[in-house]
Structure 1
């Protein structure tokens, strides 16, 4: 037997290093990760908007005997949920302890960077004789990444009488798709001299929509009219109906396995629907919950968590207050105490080291793809400005929880100091006095139309969320 050197023994005992899921997970766990990834990818391909993300979650919950929460809700349901304006869903499951001891809560967001149609979008460009849709981008996109790719339309139109029309064009193989037509390199001399961030002006994001004119010599804008006529025949809508519509432009391609070993997932909207889906599965699959457990899908994170569906709204507080009252406590007296005793994982993605751009990462403290779910102590910018900064006591308890349950995890931060900045929902949840830390899946190409995750990390995120709901606070 070869004797291990003292130095090797000390290194194994004292040092910390990230470990790849594929080297430490047993074969059956690796197989589970691949199966789980397929289920996640199927959800991702359907959950193209906030509304669709919430609707799909509701369908999954109903199949598991979860019911809409009311103050007189039935006690024989597996759990409860409440939907806010079709863009939030809060899910509740009882715990071994009552809610006066606090909750375990996982919050993610289901809005993603994208491009929206304007309220009066359709026009006919006179020089090119083409119909286009005018747009306004949402969140932190890199505009050049959206040029010259197939695009779909998803959303809702609310007619004057209140009728809701669902719009979906571009996902079915028989559907047409749309695109932002890019500039050919032969005529791009001036564009090539610009900074990358300025190469595509926002007003160049004009969606190519149609080219056939309506056959009537008495009317102008014949191509626009033909497009309106097609929309009216297909959906029963008029141009004025766009004023009360919410239509999002998304990539018109499905998720795909990435890599010769199929170890990664490429797809749109993984920031942050990967954390939404894994948290949904975690609360459903948990064998039991030590504390009352809540999973919350927020909206508007990509633009500051604003509005009545963002994390700054009182929706989640109102939901918790109603649960307190349902369990025969007085929310007017104990809501603040419950919130201060609550433990929160802010489920949001982080940036893994990109092999093509390693220079923006501080390698010792950067997440590595395939090395597990990532705990991020703080985000913000410069000197941790506008950040939640998780307390070491909370981190230590999570380390113990994850290690004792063989969850593959790592710690990381977003980029080198002063290179960039980012924020999450964590700081808004912490304002209520809860313990909060960011805990989510590392990605490559974040905010692009084709983000990359590791199947091992997706599965590790699910397992981390599941053991957190099952065992934290015991």
Structure 2
């Protein structure tokens, strides 16, 4: 296959746009370290661009062409929609997810042992557990105290914040550990986050857990919640620090959460900048993709269908039937990342059918694993249509699969939207170190992903 190189295809103006776009994207990453924070930032930006909360908009009667509305689903997923001429004709949808692999605190996380205060965690999504040791970490999330007050917690990402840490075994004593399989070198129960060590303020206490007691006092003083309130909290451990330029040429971005916020931000920018269209435009930002798209904020719930039904209900009967007709007539880019060729690990890829770094947005006819298990498997007619859209808009694009057939694989939200009868194909950014605490994308590919989504919505 002949691959194009984004850097060789763009002119000076578009070259400058790549770096301007990347700066905005990196700012989005810094503000959206969790799915809750992403949802908050997406809605903030959408409101600045004239989007109105769906329920409020419907109080003024049925929606009309050009109306811009958003749905906030449980503060953990969102939908942006720009009304077209006839919703029943279907929508152009770009569907991404905003959750990423991480560590979640357990319900009873805090304990003291050997003069150290630690937090028990449960990893979320597919991770290599050893990658989470010996790096600076942060915590973000919410807690409800006994008075019912929602408390936002953020530790580790502000300039003057302390960070947290998970230890690894010193090399001098690692003979047995090093003999294990890589997947067994660190167990899930060893991913314990160090949060304190100081027992000075509790030295006169009769408690045997002076370090823990000091941490609880600090939590009470700053955040006004107690140990029992951990039981009703959502607290996520993520790598500390901001997104960073990579390379002397600053051509790449290292950050937590590229999967799938690189596609989510591209979808957000695309719908905000798309020109007027007779077709209804929709950008989805789903939660829970990394654990199977389950739960009431995941794509497998009915919040999109219910949203469309509520729009039809404002102007007549048969709302749910019409919502399903609308979805069956829709065309979808399932916006999720794929793997790029890594010269350090060539053995897992079939290079004739793999994406390249800098090769533009990646189009995948199917994902799944091995015998296309769990795949949507887009049809040729829709692929032809998408190819024409991209070529007409001078989008640099490539095709690729997620590794060799028998090597493994992965899935996206594509099959969920396809079950309505919609035309769906996977389309997203090729990246390196996927699911690592810090992942890597090309600025050229991130920008071309945005350009592809915008062209699709405008076509």
TM range (shorter): over 0.9
Q: CA deviation at 1:449?
A: 1.3
C-alpha contact (below 8 Å) 1:343/1:436 kept by paired residues: yes
Residue in structure 2 matched with residue 431 of structure 1 by the alignment = 419
- Match of residue 180 from structure 2: 194
Q: Summarize deviations over 1:345-397 as a string: whole Å, max 9, x none.
A: 11000000112101111001000011111111111111101111000100000
Matches within 5 A, 1:451-470: 451-470=439-458
Matched, 1:111 2:99: yes
Equivalent in the alignment of 1:165: 151
Distance 2:60 2:437 in 1: 41
Which residue of 289, 298, 309 maps to 1:301?
A: 289
| Superposition map of 1:6-21 within 5 A | 16-21=1-6
Give the deviation of 1:228 after TM superposition.
Answer: 0.3
- Report the equivalent of 1:61: 46
Aligned pair count? 453
Moved more, 287-296 or 401-410: 287-296
Aligned to 1:31: 16
TM, length-normalised to structure 1: 0.93
Using the alignment, how far apart are the partners of 1:368 and 1:327 within structure 2?
48
Q: Distance in 2 between matches of 1:374 and 1:150?
A: 32
How far is 1:328 from its partner? 5.3
Q: In the aligned structure 1, how far is the partner of 2:54 from the partner of 2:383? A: 32
Instruction: Report matched runs for 1:38-437 at 5 Å.
Output: 38-70=23-55, 71-73=58-60, 79-95=68-84, 97-125=85-113, 128-213=114-199, 214-326=202-314, 330-437=318-425
Determine if contact 1:290/1:469 at 8 Å carries over to the other structure. no
8 A contact 1:300–1:309 mirrored in 2: yes
Q: C-alpha root-mean-square deviation of aligned residues, in Å?
A: 1.3
Structure 2 unaligned residues grouped into runs of 5+: none
Q: Which runs of 4+ in 1 moved over 3 A?
A: 73-78, 325-330
Structure-2 separation of matches of 1:327 and 1:382 = 46
* Structure 1 residue 236 displacement after superposition: 0.4
CA distance, structure 2, for counterparts of residue 45 and residue 432 of structure 1: 35
Local SS of the residue matching 1:179: coil
CA distance in 2, matches of 1:92, 1:45: 25
Tell me the alpha carbon deviations over residues 194-213 of structure 1, each in whole angstroms, 9 at most, x when there is no partner: 01011001111010111112
Paired with 1:23 and 1:443, the residues of 2 have a C-alpha distance of: 19
TM-score (norm 2): 0.96
How far apart, in 2, do the equivalents of 1:299 and 1:198 lie? 29
**Post-superposition offset of 1:327:** 5.6
